[in-house]
Chain A
């Protein structure tokens, strides 16, 4: 306390200045929470080859290991696809059913770079993003003249048209039914057409081949052997996803992102507030189109062939499912949704009758047969059924997706913690009620 008001003032000024400095610092311009989320994603993606292989390679549970390069690449690539889709759908509420067209266009552009210029993945990805940007600008410009269901139908129509064209009349560009592949006689003017050993060269980052994998094994006597594949392609995709995720956080927290949320909340009010919503939605559409193109470019960088089916409406629907399943409009949700769906598609689908019989063999014969008959429709080729049920349950009980599920769980734990303390329980209860 000071009696002299002149002394009080500089103190106050210093106080606000340090507050401002604290705001300005923080990790890469993010607030604590967002920085934490980004760090979490970095840690999880970097450790994925270990985390996704929890079962010894020699055990019967090894088939639940999702940590092989091909699948890990898909996790992060489709994560990128869904992160971008969420910028459009999650923020503005405009539901596109045609985003696979941009992923497909990006894939074709990438393969053409490999054919014409060279095998550097940066070339392919650059071209993928550029082509997807132009294409989504065109589609978005037309489709965004309408909103709601009409917008969705327009995007669907565009995508199906692209798919049909890619499959037929555009065969010289897209490879038609067989898809677009690399050949020994491609020019590749910036690199070599054929390697010294007479093969088609492989996609690489300045000579570092995407296919390269370092397999680290780890043995615990009496328990088994763990195998962790560290793959160059995966780490490249993961690095790109981290950047893509970071960019999406910046967009979410920016005035632009706030305008997009305002579009979703009340587009009329936004217009009467002096904001033209169309350029905002178009920008969001193109940004999400570029994300899709980036995903397409990464897909061909891992495996340099592209087919028209990548543009089909089922592929567009899949990214919608991923986003809603994980939590539309949340930052991390789309990544979780993409992971879950790809896990189902690749792991759940591999549980066949033989595997089930193995599991249930501990039961008496009759019971084991009954169990196998009950469970079988939900696994193997029936994985869609399980996914469908999971999707319905999430939409009905957790409209905010997996993220909402996580938040509710967190709240339950916090509440029981408080109860344990006894004293704070009533306060915690009212707070929880207010939150609901």
Chain B
């Protein structure tokens, strides 16, 4: 049994079958990559995991508990954090505040009427937030508005917001898209380091094959809403079906 068990999940948007009968099992403390061409249904699958969408059929179990029917904040409190494909951050708040919010959510739960003491007195949370910014190399940006960050920095900020919660399952939707090469490599190093430091399961959607093959322990290939194959990276590289559906596409797509 994996920590995440997706069984027979399907999702239809009007006439479009975005997901058709998806089965996926992610083993605890592994990095599992989901690859596939644009429109394959990868983001839709993640949406079904975090409560943004409710699948038409099937079940999603996290650590033996059903995820379906729970609200997004409840799913997060179970230990699932997600980095979105287009960065979702608090643009009007400072970078430090962006990271403090998940710290508070982690510490106080879904709601706490903490309306009297000042934020600057919350030394524990503050240190935690500053530490993760340090890890992400973003300390110099801590006081600027998050909206003013570059696209790549917004992504790294969102990743910091997820990591600081110490999730059990981290879902990353194309985390390096829009990043400079150096930042991509930093991200790979960072995720590896996190992986070594503590128990964490990662489910990563990625177009950049360099990232996928540097990190993933297992890969699922999704095409037109159904998984084509699932195997270890070495096997995926040479798989004829995959070549045809995905890697065989124009070179820059696979690069």
| Interfacial residues, chain A to chain B (CB-CB below 8 A) | 20, 23-24, 29-31, 250-251, 253-259, 261-262, 264-266, 268-277, 279-280, 283, 287
Given contacts A265-B92, A272-B82, contact A279 B111 (CB under 8 A): yes
Binding-face segment, B3-11, B98-106, B220-228, B239-247: B98-106
In this complex, what residue of A is CB-closest to B146? Answer: A265
Minimum CB–CB distance from A102 to chain B (whole Å) comes to 19
Query: What are 15 A-B contacts with C-beta separation under 8 Å?
Result: A29-B118, A31-B120, A253-B120, A254-B117, A254-B118, A258-B101, A261-B92, A261-B97, A271-B76, A273-B73, A274-B109, A275-B104, A275-B105, A276-B71, A287-B115
From B90, B104, B119, name the one whose CB has the most chain A CB atoms within 10 angstroms: B90
Given A255-B104, A258-B101, A274-B76, A269 and B90 contact (CB-CB distance below 8 Å): yes
Question: Does the CB pair B50–A272 fall under 8 Å?
Answer: yes
Query: Is B110 interfacial (CB-CB < 8 Å)?
Result: yes
Contact assessment for A258 and B119 in the assembled complex, using a CB-CB cutoff below 8 Å? yes
Chain B residues contacting A250 (CB-CB under 8 Å) are 115-116, 118
**A276 nearest CB neighbor, chain B only:** B110
Contact A272 B91 (CB under 8 A): no
Interface size on B, residues (CB 8 A): 42
> Are B73 and A275 within 8 A (Cβ)?
yes
Do B73 and A271 touch across chains, with their CB atoms under 8 A apart?
Answer: yes
Cβ of B2 within 8 Å of any chain A Cβ, yes or no, is no
Q: Bound complex: CA of A344 vs CA of B72, how far in Å?
A: 48
A residues near B125, Cβ cutoff 8 Å: 255
Report the Cα distance A337→B80, complex, angstroms: 44
With contacts A258-B100, A266-B88, A269-B89 known, is A274 near B105, CB below 8 A?
Answer: yes
B119 CB contact (under 8 Å) in A253, A274, A280: A253
Shortest CB-to-CB span from B222 to chain A, Å, is 22
A253 to chain B: which residues have CB within 8 Å? 118-120
Which B138-182 residues have a C-beta within 8 angstroms of A? 161, 165
> Which residues of the partner chain A approach B161 to less than 8 Å between Cβ atoms?
273
- B78-93 interface code vs A (CB 8 A; 1 in, 0 out): 0001101000111111
10 closest Cβ pairs, A-B complex: A274-B76, A256-B115, A274-B105, A276-B110, A265-B90, A265-B92, A271-B72, A279-B111, A269-B88, A255-B114
Contacts of B251 in A (CB 8 A): none
The smallest beta-carbon distance between A7 and chain B, in angstroms, is 26
Complex Cα gap A29–B117 (Å): 8
Q: Which applies to chain A's interface (DSSP): helix, strand, loop or mixed? A: helix
CA distance A287 to B71 in the complex (A): 26
Count of chain A to chain B residue pairs whose CB atoms are closer than 8 Å in the complex: 117
Q: Given A274-B105, A276-B73 in contact, is the A264-B92 Cβ separation under 8 Å?
A: yes
Q: Which residue on chain A has the smallest CB distance to residue B77? A: A274
Check B112 for interface membership: any CB of A closer than 8 A: yes
CA distance A261 to B72 in the complex (A): 19
Give the Cβ gap from A112 to chain B, nearest Cβ, in Å.
Answer: 29
Give the distance to chain A from B80, nearest Cβ to Cβ, in Å. Answer: 9
- Report the nearest B residue to A260, measured CB to CB: B115
Is B16's beta carbon under 8 Å from chain A?
A: no
Measured between C-beta atoms, what is the minimum distance from B95 to chain A in Å?
A: 13
Chain A nearest CB, measured from B160 CB (Å)? 12
CB of B228, distance to nearest CB on chain A (Å)? 29
Residues A262 and B88 in contact, CB atoms below 8 Å apart: no
Chain B residues contacting A261 (CB-CB under 8 Å) are 90, 92-93, 97
> Chain B residue with minimal CB distance to A254?
B115
- Chain A residues closer than 8 Å to B198, beta-carbon distance: none
Report how far A276 CA is from B74 CA in the complex, Å: 8
Q: Contacts of A29 on B, CB cut-off 8 Å? A: 118
Distance in Å: Cβ of B99 to nearest Cβ of chain A: 10
Q: How far is the CB of B60 from chain A (nearest CB, A)?
A: 16
User: Are B122 and A255 in contact, CB atoms less than 8 angstroms apart?
Assistant: yes
User: What CA separation (Å) do A20 and B104 show in the bound complex?
Assistant: 21
| A266 touching B91 in the complex, CB below 8 Å, given contacts A258-B100, A271-B73, A274-B77 | yes
B113 interfacial contact with A, CB 8 Å: yes
With contacts A258-B97, A272-B82, A280-B111 known, is A266 near B89, CB below 8 A? Answer: yes
Contact with A along B172-208 (1 / 0, CB 8 A): 0000000000000000000000000000000000000
Find out whether the CB atom of A262 lies under 8 angstroms from the CB atom of B101: yes
A274 engages B111 (CB within 8 Å) = no
Q: How far is the CA of A276 from the CA of B108 in the complex (A)?
A: 11
| Given A262-B93, A270-B101: A275 touches B118 (CB 8 Å cut-off) | no
A279–B112 CA distance with the chains assembled, in angstroms: 9
Which chain B residues lie closer than 8 Å to A287 at the CB level?
115
Given A253-B118, A254-B118, residue A274 in contact with residue B90 (CB < 8 A): no
Q: How far is the CA of A251 from the CA of B101 in the complex (A)?
A: 16
Given known contacts A271-B72, A271-B73, A275-B105, A254 and B93 CB-to-CB distance under 8 angstroms: no
Q: Besides the contacts A250-B118, A271-B76, A273-B101, what 7 more A-B pairs have beta carbons closer than 8 Å?
A: A20-B123, A269-B89, A274-B106, A275-B110, A276-B111, A277-B73, A280-B111
A23-B121 in contact (CB<8A): yes
**Complex Cα–Cα for A261 and B81 (A):** 21
For A264, list chain B residues within 8 Å (CB).
92
